[in-house]
C-alpha cells in the first residue's frame, strides 16, 4: 500500500451521504466555508447554519470524516440531471454560460443525463490549515518519502471521490468551474481536466473544465491509483 493510501486509511473515512444526519453535516460544512469564511453566499436567517440550494436534491453527495476526532471535515457533490425537469441546466450553464467556449464544448448538443457537474467541494478551514502546515514542515529522510511528503491528501481524496461518483453515474462527462491553480495541482497527480473556456469572476476566478469518464483512470500517478481504488471501494460498499 502506498504512503498516501496508508495515511488516508489511518486518518480519514469517506462515505456517501445516505442519511439526514450526513446531509445536515454537509450543509453545515458548506455554511462554514461558503458563508462564514469566504462569504460567497448570503442566506436567509430561517435556513439556520446550513448552505443549501435547488440542486442538492438531484445530486450525489459524499462526506469526509476525521477518524481521531470523529468529525465531519469535508464534502463534495456531483450534480446530476433532474429527472422531473430534464430541461433544467446544470449550475455552470445557468450561472456562467459566458465562460464556455461553445466551439470546444457545447452543452446544448448533449442529451439530458450525459453531463454531470462537480460542485460544492468544501474543506473546513482548520483542516486546510493543518495540511498546509504539515506540508511546509515535512522533512523526509529518504527519496521515496519525499514524493509523498507534500501530498495534499484531503483535496485530492475529495476529487477522487467526485470522480468515483461520476463513474457510478450514467454521465459521460464531468464538468467543473475551478480555479486554474487547482487544475494545475490536480494535474500533478494525473487528474487531467480539459479547458473548455475562459476564466470569469464567480466565487473568485473560475474557469470551466471537463473530464470524460473514459479518461478518469488513465493518467493517475503512482500512489494516486491506489488511493482512488481505496476511496472508490469504500463509496461502493456504503452506497
pTM of the model: 0.90
pLDDT confidence band for 141 (50 / 70 / 90): very low
In the chain, what are the domains? 3-238 (3.40.630.30)
20-32: per-residue pLDDT in tens? 999 999 999 999 9
State the pairing for strand pair 200-201/205-212: antiparallel
Task: Label residue 204 left, alpha or beta by phi (over 0 means left) and psi (-120 to 50 means alpha).
Answer: left
pLDDT confidence band for 46 (50 / 70 / 90): low
* Three cell numbers, residue 26: 454537509
The number of helices, as runs of H, and strands, as runs of E, in the chain is 8, 8
Looking at residue 106, its pLDDT comes to 97
75-133: per-residue pLDDT in tens? 999 999 999 999 999 999 999 999 999 999 999 999 999 999 999 999 999 998 766 54
pLDDT confidence band for 237 (50 / 70 / 90): low
Amino acid at each position: 500500500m502506498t504512503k498516501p493510501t496508508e495515511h488516508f486509511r489511518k486518518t480519514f473515512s469517506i462515505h456517501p451521504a445516505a442519511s439526514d444526519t450526513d446531509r445536515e453535516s454537509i450543509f453545515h460544512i458548506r455554511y462554514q466555508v461558503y458563508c462564514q469564511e469566504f462569504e460567497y453566499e448570503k442566506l436567509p436567517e430561517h435556513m439556520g447554519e446550513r448552505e443549501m440550494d435547488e440542486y442538492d436534491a438531484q445530486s450525489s453527495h459524499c462526506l469526509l470524516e476525521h477518524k481521531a476526532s470523529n468529525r465531519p471535515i469535508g464534502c463534495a457533490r456531483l450534480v446530476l440531471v433532474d429527472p422531473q425537469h430534464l430541461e433544467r441546466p446544470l449550475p455552470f450553464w445557468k450561472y456562467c454560460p459566458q465562460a464556455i467556449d461553445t466551439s470546444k464544448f457545447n452543452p446544448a448538443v448533449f442529451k439530458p443525463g450525459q453531463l454531470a457537474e462537480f460542485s460544492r467541494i468544501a474543506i473546513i478551514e482548520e483542516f486546510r490549515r493543518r495540511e498546509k502546515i504539515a506540508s511546509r514542515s515535512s522533512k523526509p529522510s529518504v527519496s521515496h518519502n519525499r514524493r509523498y511528503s507534500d501530498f495534499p491528501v484531503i483535496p485530492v481524496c475529495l476529487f477522487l471521490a467526485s470522480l468515483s461518483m461520476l463513474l457510478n453515474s450514467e454521465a459521460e462527462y464531468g464538468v467543473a468551474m475551478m480555479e486554474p491553480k487547482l487544475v494545475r495541482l490536480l494535474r500533478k497527480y494525473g487528474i487531467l481536466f480539459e479547458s473548455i473556456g475562459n476564466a470569469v469572476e464567480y466565487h473568485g476566478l473560475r474557469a470551466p473544465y471537463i473530464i470524460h469518464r473514459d479518461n478518469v483512470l488513465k493518467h493517475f500517478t503512482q500512489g494516486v491509483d491506489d488511493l482512488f481504488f481505496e476511496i472508490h471501494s469504500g463509496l461502493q460498499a456504503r452506497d
